[in-house]
């Protein structure tokens, strides 16, 4: 499990650590590796000659690498399972244009032997700074009921606040990293603040509150890192319904919360995907719901393309058909 305290000192530890371990995105053919990695997946396969071998995916926060244990009966090969942290000793080769790690020795390590944050993809932005920015936006709310609601989650509910900072916003697609939910929520909320400044017809407090809460259901829809997979509740209900219910339940604890305002806030969360076929049971019927839908969609799609372009490194050419954007894409020329 991720060490919550690690969040505060994240920057410093990472600097030290970089001297010590070989991150996956720095591995090159011929390197020797003796380090701890997260075993994201483990399978036993059979060579043509009928011999069993281990087929692994190792992960750290910079990416993943395929790894093989050709001799499973070697004395240096210990027991471990998927999602264990393992110390591996081996060499980097290239197969079909991709790096591969041929493992000679492997053992499961104990909790003290690694820093979990090194093995999880993490937001490139400072989590503390982002959270402070979100709290400042909450302080700017003038409607006492909406402010009380936001406070009750983000300020007073410590467990929620920690989970919210740690969570990803997706299994993959975009913002699929530690702090991703916070980063996406903050980005959407700030865009909504821009909208509220540009279109005076918008109810600023309702819009900003809806933005802050629009994806909180993801806390229960996705399990925490390193698994980061859909939960049973997430599969059966989805984050839109879960989040609406979380907000609905909390509102009942706030005396005098106007009923119409509660319904409008829930509607904004329900309708934030914009279209029925994207999982929203209602289309945006009030102006704030429409604005939230655009902010969410713009941030999600722009971040999706940015992550793909970043992943392309120095490649300035066409990157091939992208299934999410439904077109071939490339970086802009300068």
Contact 147, 141 (CB under 8 A): yes
Whole-angstrom distance, CA of residue 205 vs CA of residue 208: 5
Q: Which of 263, 311, 315, 324 binds a copy of itself (CB under 8 A)?
A: 263
Residues 276-295 that bind a copy of itself (CB under 8 A): 276-288, 290-291, 294
25 is a contact residue toward a copy of itself (CB under 8 A) = no
| One residue of 100, 126, 152, 223 binding a copy of itself per CB under 8 A | 100
- Does the footprint of a copy of itself cover residue 305 (CB under 8 A)? yes
User: Would you say 115 and 6 are in contact if contact means Cβ atoms under 8 Å apart?
Assistant: yes
Q: What is the DSSP letter of 21?
A: S
Q: Quick check: 136 binds a copy of itself (CB under 8 A)?
A: no
Nearer to a copy of itself, 10 or 187 (CB): 187
CA–CA gap between residue 61 and residue 269 (Å, rounded) = 31
Would you list the DSSP string of 224-249? PTTT--B-HHHHHTHHHHHHHHHHHH
CA 273 to each of CA 44, 92, 98, 188: distance values in angstroms, whole numbers, following the listed order: 41, 44, 37, 13
By CB under 8 A, what part of segment 161-200 binds a copy of itself? 187, 190-191, 194-195, 198-199
158 vs 332 by CB, closer to a copy of itself:
332
If one asks whether residue 325 binds a copy of itself (CB under 8 A), the answer comes out as yes
Identify the residue among 23, 87, 230, 257 touching a copy of itself (CB under 8 A). Answer: 230
Choice between 89 and 109, CB closer to a copy of itself: 89
Candidates 178, 240, 247, 251; binder of a copy of itself (CB under 8 A) is: 240
* Strand blocks (E) in 152-278: none
**What are the E-state strand segments in the chain?**
32-46, 52-60, 63-69, 85-95, 98-108, 318-322, 327-330
Residue 323 contacts a copy of itself per CB under 8 A = no
**Phi, psi (rounded to 5 degrees) for 315:** -70, 110
Q: How many residues bind to a copy of itself according to rule CB under 8 A?
A: 79
In the bound state with a copy of itself, the residue whose beta carbon lies nearer, of 157 and 245, is 245
- Return the biggest CA–CA distance within the chain: 74
Tokens, residue 260: 């119409």
Nearest approach in angstroms of CB 115 to a copy of itself is: 28
DSSP 8-state assignment for residue 55: E
Q: Is position 72 an interface residue for a copy of itself (rule: CB under 8 A)?
A: no
Task: Tokens for 301, please give them.
Answer: 């799609």
Nearer to a copy of itself, 162 or 282 (CB): 282
Provide, rounded to whole angstroms, the least separation between the CB of residue 277 and a copy of itself. Answer: 5
Q: Which of 89, 135, 233, 254 binds a copy of itself (CB under 8 A)?
A: 233
Binder of a copy of itself out of 306, 315, 320, 324 (CB under 8 A): 306
Alpha-carbon distance 64 to 10, whole Å?
Answer: 21
Q: How far is the CB of 132 from a copy of itself (least distance, A)?
A: 17
Residue 253 within binding range of a copy of itself, rule CB under 8 A: no
List binders of a copy of itself among 29-68 (CB under 8 A): 43-48, 50
124 is a contact residue toward a copy of itself (CB under 8 A): no
Q: CA 270 → CA 117, 133, 247, 274, 292, distances in Å?
A: 33, 25, 11, 9, 11
């Amino acid at each position: 499990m991720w060490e919550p305290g690690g969040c505060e000192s994240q920057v410093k530890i990472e600097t030290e650590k970089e001297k010590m371990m070989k991150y996956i995105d720095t591995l090159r053919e011929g390197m020797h590796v003796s380090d701890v990695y997260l075993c994201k997946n483990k399978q036993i396969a059979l060579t043509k000659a009928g011999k069993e071998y281990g087929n692994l995916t190792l992960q750290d926060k910079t990416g993943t690498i395929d790894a093989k244990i050709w001799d499973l009966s070697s004395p240096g090969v210990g027991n471990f399972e998927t999602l264990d942290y393992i110390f591996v000793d081996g060499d980097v080769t290239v197969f079909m244009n991709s790096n591969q790690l041929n493992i000679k020795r492997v053992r499961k390590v104990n909790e003290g032997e690694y820093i979990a944050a090194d093995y999880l993809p993490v937001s490139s932005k400072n989590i503390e700074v982002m959270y402070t920015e979100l709290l400042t936006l909450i302080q700017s709310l003038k409607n006492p009921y909406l402010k009380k609601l936001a406070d009750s989650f983000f300020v007073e509910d410590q467990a929620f606040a920690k989970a919210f900072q740690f969570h990803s916003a997706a299994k993959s697609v975009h913002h699929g990293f530690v702090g991703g939910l916070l980063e996406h929520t903050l980005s959407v909320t700030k865009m909504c603040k821009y909208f509220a400044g540009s279109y005076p017809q918008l109810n600023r407090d309702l819009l900003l509150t809806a933005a802050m809460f629009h994806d909180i259901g993801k806390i229960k829809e996705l399990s925490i890192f390193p698994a980061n997979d859909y939960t049973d509740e997430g599969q059966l209900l989805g984050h839109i319904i879960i989040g609406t219910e979380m907000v609905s339940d909390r509102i009942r604890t706030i005396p005098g919360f106007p009923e119409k305002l509660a319904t409008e806030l829930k509607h904004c969360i329900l309708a934030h995907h914009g279209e029925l076929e994207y999982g929203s049971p209602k289309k945006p019927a009030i102006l704030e719901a429409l604005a939230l839908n655009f902010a969410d969609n713009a941030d999600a799609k722009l971040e999706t393309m940015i992550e793909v372009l970043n992943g392309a490194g120095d490649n300035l050419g066409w990157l091939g058909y992208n299934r999410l954007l439904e077109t071939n894409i490339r970086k802009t020329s300068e």
